[in-house]
Amino acid sequence: MFIGRLLQISRGSLTRSIHVSAKYNQAMGIDGNNILAESLKRQGIEYVFGIVGIPVIETSMAFQSVGIKYVGMRNEQAAAYAAQAIGYLTGKPGVCLAVSGPGLLHCIGGMANAQVNCWPLLVIAGSCPEDHEGIGGFQEWLQVESSRPYCKYAVRPPSPKLIPLHVERAVRSACAGRPGVAYLDMPATLLTAEVDEEKVPLNFYNAGPITLAHPDPALVDRAADVLAKAERPLVIVGKGAAYGRAEESVRKLVETTKIPFLPTPMGKGVVPDASPYCVSTARTQALLKADVVVLLGARLNWMLHFGQVPRFAPDVKVIQVDISPEEFHNSIKSEVAVHSDIRPFTEALTQKLASKKYSLQPSSAWWKALNEKQKKNTEFVEAQANDKSVPLNYYAVFKTVQASIPKDSIIVSEGANTMDIGRGLLLNNQPRHRLDAGTFGTMGVGPGFAVAAAMWCRDYAPTKRVICVEGDSAFGFSGMEIETMFRYKLPVIIVIVNNSGIYSGFDKEMMKDIQESGDVAQCTPPTALSSEVRYEKMMEMFGCSGHLCRTVEEIETAVKAAIKVTDRPSIINILINPQANRKPQTFNWLTESKL
């Protein structure tokens, strides 16, 4: 009501006052803005992230008037990242609201990321008035056509009366099967057009919860037979299992069969990282030597080296379970390909293996080999993590952060070494508690993801904390979303692991010598950033102080202080050795092309 009484928007000579409680005129007309808002509300949409301007200012107000939460961001790309993250966390699409032309184009990176990541996202953008199209309208662009390559569904409703129909289709398309992106184009003339409320089907069909897809029992039997004959079985848990809320059934499968498992980065926590059956510290060995792999909601793409040699055995048998049959036999032929949601499949497989009295003994040769490799790899990591010499290395930083944060924290992470090394040391014991650059490897997602996670925590898990662990390069993409966090009082703890570069940087003296050796643009290494940038001083823009850390003790003190803050974000800037690196790799991190 307060906003509705105060906000006035001028349209030419006509000034209209937006009253949140008065959506309809005396003739019981309803305009496109309010039809859109009501339609989204009735389809269960809870959150909108965006940036307003002509022609969607009134649209955002209409969203708030029906009880949808609107979060104003600082960049449309970050808004798209936030909306897709809330979709992953809730299972219902988040909405990204953008203005026309450049506003929508800024969203394209976020749309592609959601489509590749298989997260539900609905993008709504205003567009120029239909009577201005083709004659150089303000921010005119072919928006539906531009969006279509990155979407499952892209449309402009042809009339206000059909907005509810297309909202329902967009929401359903974003969620059904393999989740993805839907786009709705809303010209200014459509948003302001008024029609008789009685002629608008606001209670248009709502599909309700999507029924789980159950597996063919014959394929479950075949998968159980293949697995029972394996000498070196391995379960790989992907983020599809996390999105599918399959944690209970997957945990039961692992715990009753005692088969070792590996999580993909965002499959972490479906089965706890702390589980004795987790073999992440022997990942290379597990992938290379497994003779049967059960793939639960993960894809054999670059993150799993395409399932190919030299990272996998040439005769490995894959039991592939996915909601999307298009994914089957993508890079290698699967032994068993099961079209199913993860939960009903794992429940059926567990029952079938129990009937066979199947259990992999801890004394087996497979478990002995994995345990030996885990011990060897852990010794290296522990030696690095216990090295407190200054400047610090990554392992010492992550060990200290892990020991200092609440164990049920949602961890957001991005960067090169920061994200990769952090996956092994920052543990997740609950599902959907890790958000990172994901399948598309997108940098700049962190602050947007963190905003969404903090909003989710506020509404559904108020005692949880969000820890946003950023490389200094990655933070630079979307760092101004710190203002969004302040505005909405989101207590995100931002930890910047600052090595003064992309992959690696240089100390102050070396950087000075480099830049004085000739033309700066020719001499400065492309991976270098400014040395020891004081990112924590961004807090001073808001009348607060950040934390600069160089030692383990300073990190412990800073994290402890940040956890006490519950009404605003914190920044902890940790300066590390610019040349710090990861553990030497047995193979190149990316499987080479065979061409």
Contacts of 452 (CB under 8 A, 6+ apart): 47, 49, 81, 82, 83, 85, 86, 89, 94
pLDDT at position 24, please? 44
DSSP lists the bridge partners of residue 498 as 575
Provide the total of helices (H) and of strands (E) in the chain, helices listed first. Answer: 22, 23
pLDDT at position 585, please? 66
Residue 511 phi/psi, 5-degree rounding, is -65, -40
pLDDT at position 583, please? 73
Number of other residues whose CB lies within 10 A of the CB of residue 94: 32
Find out whether 177 and 161 touch, Cβ atoms under 8 Å.
Answer: no
Torsion of CA 552, 478, 86, 174, to 10 degrees: -140
> Which DSSP helix (H) or strand (E) runs through 81?
helix 76-90
Using alpha carbons, list the distances in angstroms from residue 207 to 120, 170, 502.
Answer: 16, 12, 46
- Quick one: angle between helices 247-257 and 342-355, nearest 10? 20
Torsion of CA 346, 351, 352, 356, to 10 degrees: 130
Question: Which residue type, as a one-letter code, is found at position 102?
Answer: P
Instruction: Please tell me the pTM assigned to this model.
Output: 0.93
Find out whether 449 and 490 touch, Cβ atoms under 8 Å.
Answer: no
* Residue 562: strand, helix, or coil: helix
- Of 348, 380, 448, 389, nearest in space to 87 by CA: 448
- Of 438, 440, 391, nearest in space to 581 by CA: 391
Find out whether 35 and 9 touch, Cβ atoms under 8 Å.
Answer: no
Using alpha carbons, list the distances in angstroms from residue 279 to 88, 237, 244, 290.
Answer: 26, 12, 23, 12
* Per-position pLDDT tens, the chain of length 595: 334 433 443 333 233 334 433 444 445 799 999 999 999 999 999 999 999 999 999 999 999 999 999 999 999 999 999 999 999 999 999 999 999 999 999 999 999 999 999 999 999 999 999 989 889 999 999 999 999 999 999 999 999 999 999 999 999 999 999 999 999 999 999 999 999 999 999 888 776 777 889 999 999 999 999 999 999 999 999 999 999 999 999 999 999 999 999 999 999 999 999 999 999 999 999 999 999 999 999 999 999 999 999 999 999 999 999 999 999 998 999 999 999 999 999 999 999 999 999 999 999 999 999 999 999 999 999 999 999 999 999 999 999 999 999 999 999 999 999 999 999 999 999 999 999 999 999 999 999 999 999 999 999 999 999 999 999 999 999 999 999 999 999 999 999 999 999 999 999 999 988 888 888 898 999 999 999 999 999 999 999 999 999 999 999 999 999 999 999 999 999 999 999 987 776 667 677 655 5
CA distance 470 to 479: 10
Task: Report DSSP state, residue 314.
Answer: T
Find out whether 9 and 18 touch, Cβ atoms under 8 Å.
Answer: yes
- Of 141, 158, 149, nearest in space to 98 by CA: 141
- Of 56, 146, 164, nearest in space to 105 by CA: 146
